[in-house]
Amino acid sequence: MEQTESKVETTVFERVVSRFNIAAEKLGLDDGIYQVLLTPDREIGLAIPVQMDNARLKVFQAYRVQHNLARGPSYGGIRYAPDVTLDQIRALAVWMTWKCAVVKIPFGGAQGGIVCDPKTLSRTELEKITRRYTASLIDTLGPERDVAGPDITTDEKVMAWIMDTYSMHVRHTVTAVVTGKSLALGGTVGWREATGRGCKIVCDRALTRFNMKPENTRVIIQGFGNVGSMAARILHESGYLVVGASDITGGIYDPWGIDVTQLIAHAEEAKTVVGFPDTDAISGAELLQQPCEILLPAATENQITIHNADKIKARIICEGADEPTAPEADEILYDKRIFIIPDLLANSGGVTVSYFEWVQDRQGYFWNLKTVNDRLEEIMLNSFDTVASYADRHGVDMRIAAYMLAIDRVAYATRARGIYA
């Protein structure tokens, strides 16, 4: 029976469970470990009272979910958005566990969120919300417990507030409690472009797999935020032909190629890719269906669905966003022989370099850009090859292979540690 799109959109955690179930069945996961791996270790709901600029009190709902600690402290972003839900936060925490396991980073998954609209809040109000949220989680956060990072509408300034609040409570400066900080506060070079660079690295590997060359590879980027624009720039600099890009307002297309350097400058000034000279205007939905060798969705989840999957003309899909492909669309794309580099692998460059930041903060010794990029490339290539080998050996697509690999690694750590009672 066909599942409706509305259900897919409103039950985010179900998407996690559906793919987990396929991988768990193929691994022969026993029921006990199944329950352990799918159940978050801790879910925290918070009420954040804040005195607003007009002197009135307002209470904001907030969450922090730690999914799994078998392989190390939990790690995950904090997002501020009016549509934050516990279901969404739980799903993102689980995704982060699998993502860290795929690239063999010694973190478990976590995620936090505050139900608010940052666009309607002053800087002072945002700081108060952030600091109260951090103080409420003071016994939960920590470099050896739960490390936070930026997410939707949170940035290095928010990370600075979290780090400072935590440090004030423990009475010494603790830079490793968050990642995504400014360089002055213990951030790392290469962090801002890490997810986009990781996408480029796995695209290179996919081209090698199919005997393709960058100069003959047309790329379409859906979503031109940090991930999409960075991926576009790095791919363009490496000889790929970027022929289309879109953001929330619309898209542009030129089958002969776009000057990405000029496009980024245009987008920074106009706050949109729309209106870039000498390109055809196109809707975001139509752009997904244009012919290309690589389609890189880097916007939001659930962009490729049962309604448009059969119209996708790409040879390779590199998922720069989390869950851009609905589970029901996977089989359609698989039947079309489209090679998918799944989100668990494709966009894990960000968490990998966040891990590098955490390591450098704890060492008190910082690497240069070449070291960061070289180590990122080594991890991404090794992870791609391992997932591809897993897929070939088990006769599954890359997505299910990534899930199987991640689940297997976390299950192994769980069994090796045993269950404390």
DSSP state letter for 59: E
CB 228 within 8 A of CB 296: yes
CA angle 300, 97, 48 (to 5 degrees): 70
- Residue 98 and residue 88: Cα distance in Å, rounded? 16
pLDDT tens-place string over residues 334-376? 999 999 999 999 999 999 999 999 999 999 999 999 999 999 9
* pLDDT score of 420: 85
**Exposed, middle or buried, 6 (CB in 10 Å: 0-12/13-18/19+)?**
exposed
Residue type, 182: S
pTM of the model: 0.93
H/E stretch holding 76 = strand 74-81
Could you give the residue range(s) of every CATH 3.40.50.10860 domain in the chain? 41-179
CB 207 within 8 A of CB 214: yes
pLDDT tens-place string over residues 57-94? 999 999 999 999 999 999 999 999 999 999 999 999 99
* pLDDT score of 102: 97
pLDDT, one tens digit for every residue, the chain (421 residues): 333 343 434 467 888 888 899 999 999 999 999 999 999 999 999 999 999 999 999 999 999 999 999 999 999 999 999 999 999 999 999 999 999 999 999 999 999 999 999 999 999 999 999 999 999 999 999 999 999 999 988 999 999 999 999 999 999 999 999 999 999 999 999 999 999 999 999 999 999 999 999 999 999 999 999 999 999 999 999 999 999 999 999 999 999 999 999 999 999 999 999 999 999 999 989 999 999 999 999 987 788 999 999 999 999 999 999 889 988 899 999 999 999 999 999 999 999 999 999 999 999 999 999 999 999 999 999 999 999 999 999 999 999 999 999 999 999 999 999 988 7
- Residue 214 and residue 217: Cα distance in Å, rounded? 5
Helical pair 31-38 and 398-417, crossing angle rounded to 10 deg = 100
CA torsion sign for 210, 215, 221, 226 is positive
Q: How many CA atoms lie within 13 A of 384 on its CB side?
A: 25
* pLDDT score of 9: 43
Could you give the residue range(s) of every CATH 3.40.50.720 domain in the chain? 194-346
- Residue 62 and residue 48: Cα distance in Å, rounded? 7
- At 147, give phi and psi (nearest 5°): -105, 130
* pLDDT score of 302: 80
* pLDDT score of 11: 65
CB 241 within 8 A of CB 217: yes
Residue type, 346: A
- Residue 292, SS3 per DSSP: coil
Residue closest to 110 by CA, chosen among 93, 95, 127? 93
What class, spelled out in words, does domain 41-179 have in CATH? alpha beta
| The domain defined by 194-346 carries CATH number 3.40.50.300 | no
CB 116 within 8 A of CB 60: yes
* pLDDT score of 14: 82
